[in-house]
Amino acid sequence: MRAATAAGREVFGYNRSVDGVKAAQFDGFDATDSLDEALSRATQTESLIVLAVPMPALGAMLERIRAIAPDCPLTDVISVKGPVLAQVEAAGLRPNFVGGHPMTGTAHSGWAAGEQDLFAGTPWVVSVDDGVDAAVWASVMRLALDCRAFVVPARSDEHDGAAAAISHLPHLLAETLAVTAGDVPLAFALAAGSFRDGTRVAATAPDLVRAMCEANSEQLLTGLDRAIALLAGARDRLAAHSSVADLVEAGHAARMRYDSFSRPDILAVTIGAPGWRDELAAAGRAGGVIRSALPVRDSRG
């Protein structure tokens, strides 16, 4: 709400927390704790609905949207995309839906944890799954750009594989590090930068971490298996040959590749033109990002 309002958009919001709504109203925002009221207004104003709820709350929310605002364009900011798409489809809302995921956040939650600049300069994934509507896609793209994010177009399944590797696995490694150190005398007394950085995300509320990890369990299991195999290999070579060279050199090389990873602008795609979804998915896979709005051909390309 803060970021879109700062961009000059008309924004209104619903939250089930009366305290959260009051805090937003106190800060001058247009918020209500009546879901039906917010959805009726969305229908009347043909607003883009942005779902920002934990996975377990999604089903009930989609039911109300189906009942009150079935024709509104719809997006979400939930951290996993395949399972959301499946629930949206089950609710009969897939034609108006384009999934989204701003890859940013804080370790805190609730109204007070947000800030206007939260999305500035960060990737916001917009899903290019088969059959997504060009007009809805373009409106989600414009929302992300207005919030000063850059858009990464990606298929939902590829997003989830990447999210497991760069978001969900890091959370579990941070929890592992915190637990391991917590059992060692003197560890907290000596902890410095590498421990603080390595466990920062372990301060995230456990329910949020569980929700994102458990909703993406299939892809996360693949990442966990790979991480365990790498650590077990390093352990065995350290025991047998007193060397961690293989893991350390591969890790350093990967991090160097990340540091030099470039994000070329996607400029030559027209949303709605033939083959636009596959073109965007391929461009996103190659590191491409959208920094200013692409042209749109028509609404059912």
Distance CA 271, CA 56 (A): 32
Q: Which residues, numbered 86-125, are part of the site for its own copies (CB under 8 A)?
A: 103-105, 122-123, 125
Nearest to 159 by CA among 94, 89, 215: 215
CB of 135 to its own copies, least distance (A): 25
Q: Which residues, numbered 148-167, are part of the site for its own copies (CB under 8 A)?
A: 152, 154, 158-159, 161-167
Q: Which of 21, 174, 266, 269 binds its own copies (CB under 8 A)?
A: 174
Q: Judged by CB under 8 A, how many residues of this single chain contact its own copies?
A: 97
- Of 27-35, 81-89, 131-139, 213-221, the segment contacting its own copies by CB under 8 A is 213-221
Is there a contact between 150 and 263 (Cβ–Cβ < 8 Å)?
Answer: yes
Q: Which of 31, 173, 269, 296 binds its own copies (CB under 8 A)?
A: 173
Q: Is 289 in the site for its own copies (CB under 8 A)?
A: yes
CB of 42 to its own copies, least distance (A): 29
Which structure tokens are listed for 208? 């949020």
Distance CA 265, CA 283 (A): 9
Return the SS3 of 183.
coil
CB of 124 to its own copies, least distance (A): 10
Is there a contact between 20 and 114 (Cβ–Cβ < 8 Å)?
Answer: no
Minimum CB distance to its own copies smaller for 92 or for 233: 233
Distance CA 230, CA 105 (A): 28
Q: Which residues, numbered 24-83, are part of the site for its own copies (CB under 8 A)?
A: none
Is there a contact between 230 and 221 (Cβ–Cβ < 8 Å)?
Answer: no
CB of 121 to its own copies, least distance (A): 10
Minimum CB distance to its own copies smaller for 23 or for 178: 178
- Secondary structure of 247-293 as H, E, C letters: HHHHHHHHHHHHHCCCCCECCCCCECCCCHHHHHHHHHHCCCEECCC
Distance CA 162, CA 123 (A): 13
Q: Which residues, numbered 217-256, are part of the site for its own copies (CB under 8 A)?
A: 217, 220-221, 223-228, 230-232, 234-235, 238-239, 242-245, 247-256
- Of 109-117, 210-218, 271-279, 290-298, the segment contacting its own copies by CB under 8 A is 210-218
Distance CA 301, CA 298 (A): 6
Q: Is 191 in the site for its own copies (CB under 8 A)?
A: yes
Q: Is 198 in the site for its own copies (CB under 8 A)?
A: yes
